[in-house]
């Protein structure tokens, strides 16, 4: 599978989902480029096949769980990570 990205409208914001080959991927550089293009602050969650899931749906759910956990931690709450 080649790298691919999907952007969709969600409420008052957007959701960007990407699938990338991990070989040689510089995650920090990619995040910097996306943030520079978007021009807004954003949350990022990385998940990895097969550690976090073996289907795209499971990987997507694992990423959402990670985002919810990081948002809760920012507010001072403790949220347990839920397996996808």
More confident residue, 84 or 22: 22
pLDDT at residue number 51 = 92
CA dihedral sign, ordered 36, 37, 43, 47: negative
User: Using one digit for the tens of pLDDT, what is the confidence trace for 12-69?
Assistant: 888 888 888 888 889 999 989 988 988 888 888 899 999 999 998 898 899 889 888 8
- How far apart CA 67 and CA 74 sit, in angstroms, is 11
Tell me the three state secondary structure of residue 68: helix
- How far apart CA 83 and CA 54 sit, in angstroms, is 12
């Amino acid at each position: 599978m080649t790298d691919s990205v999907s952007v969709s409208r969600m409420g008052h914001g957007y959701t960007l989902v990407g699938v990338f080959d991990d070989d040689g991927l510089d995650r920090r550089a990619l995040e910097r480029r996306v943030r520079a293009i978007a021009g807004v602050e954003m949350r990022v969650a990385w998940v990895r096949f097969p550690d976090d899931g073996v289907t795209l749906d499971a990987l997507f759910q694992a990423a959402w769980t990670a985002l919810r956990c990081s948002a809760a931690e920012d507010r001072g709450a403790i949220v347990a990570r839920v397996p996808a």
